[in-house]
Amino acid sequence: MAPEEVTVRSPVPLIMRVAIVLYKLGSSAEYRIIANQFGISKSSVKKFVYMFCKSMITGPIKQLIRVPTDEEALEIARGFEASHHIPQILGLIDGSHIPVLPPSDGYKDFVNRKGWPSYVLQAVVDNNCCFWSISCKMPGSAHDANALRNSDIFQRAHLLPKCVKNIEGKDINLFIVGDPAYPLLDWLIKAYPNSPRLTPQQQSFNVYLSSVRVGVEMTFGLLKSRWRILLKRSDFHFSFAPTMIATCCGLHNFCQREGDYANNSWLEEGRDHANNYPQPNQPADPQCSSDGTSVREALTTYMATHFPLRTGHLH
């Protein structure tokens, strides 16, 4: 993004170019307003934003968002177990719909179950509210399970850290926790379907699992409170929106690791703005693999044996 050495007029300094991009992503202001604020043209604001985001995707984001190493994975699992008692959790997965300006051709594909156009941001987060996997290529009409099946993490699930641990006589790999919209797999565990026939142990397991899943909702809240461009329909072309969204996720991780935490007023404002675009509910995915079922049963037995049974309501 550095300016050319030889120019007709005095170039916009690099630090100012970056500031302009961060102002745009953090405020969601229009190009015209930012141009007036910084005393440059609207076309320059747009050019700097596109340059920054495209460069993030080809460079720094690969270090900012990546699958944990075995050592890092064990540290994440220890963190989740210390706070929520459930062993072997590698991450929490969920989807969040981000408003976009959809194309006229194919508009319906982008309209989600709440009636507004969006992209589905699928993300996996760790115990420190950082993303270690993201995917943002499915339009809003896609179900979370379809977004999963079209993501890299699904295609490369066999390459995720394993770090096997014997629990209740069964060897269990590290796994990801999801909501009912996802399939039950040996590496992706979700709660039991709500039913009057659930045992107290199964109900308790659901409550423990629900409490740990709050972490991914908190992470999305932090992300959007920092980068408010994600809270409203931006003026970006729909084809560029995934690049911008991924950039915001990378910047979020940078802020988290640098200890630059969002304050409560940001979070409150973020929640207020988010109400303008309510998140659509997703139907449950009935797919349950036999391996996933046996892993969940072993975890249920372990939790019921070692910790008090809980009762409560799922989200």
> How is 134-200 classified by DSSP, letter by letter?
EEEEEETTS-HHHHHHTSHHHHTGGGS----EEETTEEE--EEE--TTS-BBTTEE-PPPP-TT--H
Q: Can you give the pLDDT at residue 252?
A: 97
The percentage of the chain sitting over the pLDDT mark of 90, rounded to a whole number, equals 85
Q: Can you give the pLDDT at residue 263?
A: 80
Q: Answer whether 46's CB lies under 8 Å from 143's CB.
A: no
Tokens of 212: 């740990």
Q: Can you give the pLDDT at residue 201?
A: 97
Residue 100 and residue 217 in one domain: yes
Domain count, the chain: 2
Q: Can you give the pLDDT at residue 125?
A: 98
**Comparing 11-25, 255-269, 296-310, which segment has the lowest mean pLDDT?**
255-269
Residue 84 and residue 23 in one domain: no
> Is pLDDT above 90 for 91?
yes
- Would you say the pTM of this structure is higher than 0.85? yes
Residue 132 and residue 242 in one domain: yes
Residue 241 identity (one-letter amino acid): A
Mean pLDDT of 122-128: 97
Residue 217 and residue 82 in one domain: yes
Q: Can you give the pLDDT at residue 273?
A: 82
CA–CA separation, 7 and 117 (whole Å): 41
Enclosing domain of residue 35: 14-58
Residue 237 and residue 111 in one domain: yes
CA–CA separation, 233 and 241 (whole Å): 10
> Is pLDDT above 60 for 313?
no
In tens, the pLDDT along 284-310 reads 999 999 999 999 999 999 999 999 999
Q: Would 4 be classed as within a structural domain?
A: no
> Is pLDDT above 50 for 314?
no
Give the end of a domain, one of 6, 34, 58: 58
Q: Would 273 be classed as within a structural domain?
A: yes
Going from the C-alpha of 67 to that of each of 27, 223, 234, 252, 276, the distances in angstroms are 30, 19, 29, 16, 33
CA–CA separation, 182 and 179 (whole Å): 6
Give the end of a domain, one of 58, 92, 111: 58
Q: Can you give the pLDDT at residue 271?
A: 83
Tokens of 185: 């797999």
**Comparing 69-73, 262-266, 283-287, which segment has the lowest mean pLDDT?**
262-266
Q: Answer whether 48's CB lies under 8 Å from 125's CB.
A: no
Residue 120 and residue 230 in one domain: yes
Q: Can you give the pLDDT at residue 7?
A: 61
CA–CA separation, 273 and 220 (whole Å): 13
Q: Would 315 be classed as within a structural domain?
A: no
Residue 40 and residue 73 in one domain: no
Q: How many CB atoms lie within 10 A of CB 103?
A: 14
**Comparing 150-164, 171-185, 257-271, 293-307, which segment has the lowest mean pLDDT?**
257-271
Q: Can you give the pLDDT at residue 6?
A: 62
CA–CA separation, 76 and 99 (whole Å): 31
Mean pLDDT of 135-146: 96
Q: Would 38 be classed as within a structural domain?
A: yes
Q: Can you give the pLDDT at residue 88?
A: 98
Instruction: Collect all residues with Cβ–Cβ distance below 8 Å to 89 and sequence separation of at least 6.
Output: 76, 77, 80, 81, 127, 174, 175, 176, 177, 212
What is the bridge-based pairing of β-strands 175-177 and 89-99? parallel
CA–CA separation, 46 and 210 (whole Å): 41
Q: Would 132 be classed as within a structural domain?
A: yes
pLDDT band of 8, cuts 50, 70, 90: low
> Is pLDDT above 80 for 267?
yes
Residue 137 and residue 263 in one domain: yes
Going from the C-alpha of 37 to that of each of 80, 198, 247, the distances in angstroms are 44, 59, 23
Helices then strands, counting H and E runs in the chain, come out as 12, 7
Going from the C-alpha of 277 to that of each of 79, 92, 95, 143, 231, the distances in angstroms are 33, 23, 14, 17, 8
Q: Can you give the pLDDT at residue 266?
A: 81
Instruction: Collect all residues with Cβ–Cβ distance below 8 Å to 102 and sequence separation of at least 6.
Output: 109, 110, 111, 117, 139, 238
Q: Can you give the pLDDT at residue 315?
A: 42
Residue 39 and residue 127 in one domain: no
Q: Would 312 be classed as within a structural domain?
A: no
Residue 24 and residue 137 in one domain: no
CA–CA separation, 129 and 258 (whole Å): 13
pLDDT band of 235, cuts 50, 70, 90: confident
